[in-house]
Amino acid sequence: MECPHLINITKINNPFIKEGLVLTSFEFCRSCQNTWMCVHCGILNCGRYVNGHAIQHFQHQQHHIISIDCKELSIFCYICDDFVSNEKCYKHFQKLRRVLQGNQSRISFITKRYEINRKEHNELIKKNSFSNNNKKCNLKVSGLRNLGNTCFMNSVLQSLCNIRLFSYYFTKLPPLTDPSHLPPLNNTRSNHQINNNLTTTNSAKSIINDSDILITEELRKTIILLWEGSKSAISPQSLFTVIRKVVPRFRCGQQDAHEFLRYILDRLHTELLTLTSIKSNNNSTLNRTIVASIFGGILQSEVRCLICQTQSKKNDQFFDLSLDIPQKYCQDSLPLEQSCPLSECLTKFTELEELADTELYNCPNCKQKQKSTKQFWIRRLPNVLCLHLKRFKWNEYVRSKLDVHISFPAKDLDMSSFILSNMHETRNNGGSPFYDLNAVVVHHGNGIGSGHYTSYASHNGCWHHFNDATVSVCSEDTVLKAKAYILFFVRRQ
């Protein structure tokens, strides 16, 4: 974007230009990742997606509005809250870029000197509960390169990749050149095969050719590369090329991570249904795939006419739940330190509501549209519960972000209050109502079309922070402090 504030910066007076990168220890924070420099004073800090010291510097020095990413050499305006594109019009910014480009080795040396010290590292290990078994965090983990505003995709892919049931299936999936070799769908709770009679449909055979676009195949290859861990970062270019061919709106600009998640799960489910036909003993086709087995739950909606009390019930499959944030936590006067419990968002989702006059119920008994109430219940819980927090709201013609912290548990999320406990199917589906946190997607910034996405994911009790190509070990406390946008919980076995 073009920034109107650059014109006010006529000269850059900082230690970089005058002294050739001479910095003192107090001018640098203890993280060596994603280093940003304030162009006003030359101070080096980590970016907002690591420990956020660069943005904290702006908050304390509010006339220091411009920073530069020392590695990517991108210039950022904190007032616009976005990267700028018109800096080439100003010679002093071009000079700064040349200085930084010629001092990359020096920057690397300085940042590594002030890397986290041993005492803090030991505390981090303690918080992650692997001090007695360091092997837990010796897993080789790869990042995903940003292909230009693709952090929305990277954050979702890293979250899905670290859901064990999901990644296990795709790593065992053979190349989809011969769908007859597809593995059978398993019961993901018991790991016993629910059906041995997996057959390939004629339509599946007919669509497998060189010209067809299969996201399933490209995702399979991407997940295998991520789990190999042989590189610090891999490029998801092949997968992204296929995705943008199918959905043109994903081609450019920042996109919504939740919309991408919905799309990728729906698309995988549809492709796998087309590729395989899973038949039960009575020869009827089951509408089940690995996606439905992992993420699929049943939501029951109940609508009641307020005139005659006639009730209508409808059951729908869901792969995720979108939760409103209660209005009392959306006020500008809310204290910064106050959090909204996730349980309150779930309660709001299942509470009885009276529908607006624009949503009148077409009552079959009254034979006309009437006022009504509506309520959601979970009829069947999924094996992986995906919760989307509706942080973006339309306020007249402006879409703003609700930046309140939602407090969520790392373990023992109890969903028993939100299910139809009196239903035979709910009582006897053999699953626990308790869930443990597995992954978190976070949106940084103000606008849905701008900002940045990162994610946290747990593997064998060790948490990692995924910031595109950069991956770092982090503590559980750090994860719980994040302002979550999407939460992934795995059902307790």
Which comes out higher in pLDDT, residue 157 or 73?
Answer: 157
- The pLDDT tens digits of the residues spanning 375-406 come to 999 999 999 999 999 998 877 667 788 889 99
> Of the ranges 35-49, 123-137, 171-185, which one carries the lowest mean pLDDT score?
123-137
User: pLDDT band for position 191 (50/70/90)?
Assistant: very low
Write out the DSSP string of 196-253.
S-EE--HHHHHH-STT---HHHHHHHHHHHHHH--SSEE--HHHHHHHHHH-GGGSSS
Q: Identify residue 415 by its one-letter amino acid code.
A: M
- What confidence score (pLDDT) does residue 33 get? 59
Please list the residues that pair with 474 across neighbouring strands: 463
452 is catalytic: yes
Residue 347 scores a pLDDT above 90: yes
Which comes out higher in pLDDT, residue 90 or 180?
Answer: 90
Backbone angles phi and psi of 240, in degrees to 5:
-65, -35
Name the DSSP letter for residue 285.
B
> Of the ranges 95-104, 304-313, 388-397, 448-457, which one carries the lowest mean pLDDT score?
95-104
Name the DSSP letter for residue 418.
G
> Of the ranges 106-115, 325-334, 374-383, 410-419, which one carries the lowest mean pLDDT score?
106-115
CATH superfamily of 6-115: Zinc/RING finger domain, C3HC4 (zinc finger) (3.30.40.10)
Identify whether the C-beta of residue 374 lies closer than 8 Å to the C-beta of residue 303.
Answer: yes
H/E/C letters for each residue in 44-69?
Answer: EEECCCCCCHHHHHHHHCCCCCEEEE
- C-alpha pair distances (Å), 487 with each of 219, 295, 365, 400, 409: 21, 13, 41, 21, 11
Residue 129 scores a pLDDT above 80: no
- The pLDDT tens digits of the residues spanning 223-238 come to 999 988 778 899 999 9
Which comes out higher in pLDDT, residue 463 or 111?
Answer: 463
- What confidence score (pLDDT) does residue 180 get? 52
| Nearest Cα residue to 386 out of 456, 440, 433, 334 | 440
Residue 145 scores a pLDDT above 50: yes
- What confidence score (pLDDT) does residue 439 get? 98
Identify whether the C-beta of residue 346 lies closer than 8 Å to the C-beta of residue 265.
Answer: no
Q: Taking the CB of residue 49, how many other CB atoms lie within 10 A of it?
A: 22
Residue 370 scores a pLDDT above 60: yes
CATH superfamily of 137-278: Cysteine proteinases (3.90.70.10)
- What confidence score (pLDDT) does residue 442 get? 96
Q: Which member of 32, 46, 77, 151 is catalytic? A: 151
Q: What distance in Å separates the CA atoms of residue 467 and residue 478, rounded to the nearest whole number?
A: 14
User: pLDDT band for position 161 (50/70/90)?
Assistant: very high
**Sequence-ordered list of residues with C-beta below 8 angstroms from that of 459, at least 6 positions apart, any chain:** 139, 141, 162, 164
Cα dihedral 222→227→231→237 (10° resolution): 10
Which pair of tokens denotes residue 49? 């997606």
- Average pLDDT for 240-260: 83
> Of the ranges 24-38, 79-93, 132-146, 345-359, which one carries the lowest mean pLDDT score?
24-38
**Sequence-ordered list of residues with C-beta below 8 angstroms from that of 119, at least 6 positions apart, any chain:** none
Backbone angles phi and psi of 120, in degrees to 5:
-65, -35
Q: Where are the domains of the chain?
A: 6-115, 137-278
Identify whether the C-beta of residue 273 lies closer than 8 Å to the C-beta of residue 179.
Answer: no
In this prediction, what percent of the chain has a pLDDT beyond 90? 36
- What confidence score (pLDDT) does residue 187 get? 44
| Nearest Cα residue to 433 out of 449, 409, 415, 451 | 415
Q: What distance in Å separates the CA atoms of residue 466 and residue 50, rounded to the nearest whole number?
A: 10
Most confident residue range from 101-105, 181-185, 202-206: 101-105
Beta-strand relationship, 143-144 and 233-234: parallel
Q: Identify residue 493 by its one-letter amino acid code.
A: Q
- What confidence score (pLDDT) does residue 388 get? 97
151 is catalytic: yes
End-to-end CA distance of the chain: 49
Mean pLDDT score of the chain: 77
| Nearest Cα residue to 227 out of 294, 309, 140 | 140
- What confidence score (pLDDT) does residue 12 get? 64
Name the DSSP letter for residue 68.
E
User: pLDDT band for position 468 (50/70/90)?
Assistant: very high
- Average pLDDT for 439-467: 88
> Of the ranges 61-65, 207-211, 274-278, 446-450, which one carries the lowest mean pLDDT score?
207-211
Q: Say if 6-115 and 137-278 have the same CATH topology.
A: no
- What confidence score (pLDDT) does residue 219 get? 95
- What confidence score (pLDDT) does residue 132 get? 40
Helix residue ranges per DSSP H, 139-178? 151-161, 164-172
Q: Which member of 443, 444, 452, 465 is catalytic? A: 452
User: pLDDT band for position 320 (50/70/90)?
Assistant: very high
Write 169-174 long-range contacts (CB < 8 A, 24+). Answer: 169/290, 170/219, 170/220, 170/223, 170/224, 171/220, 171/223, 171/224, 171/227, 173/216, 173/220
Identify whether the C-beta of residue 325 lies closer than 8 Å to the C-beta of residue 404.
Answer: yes
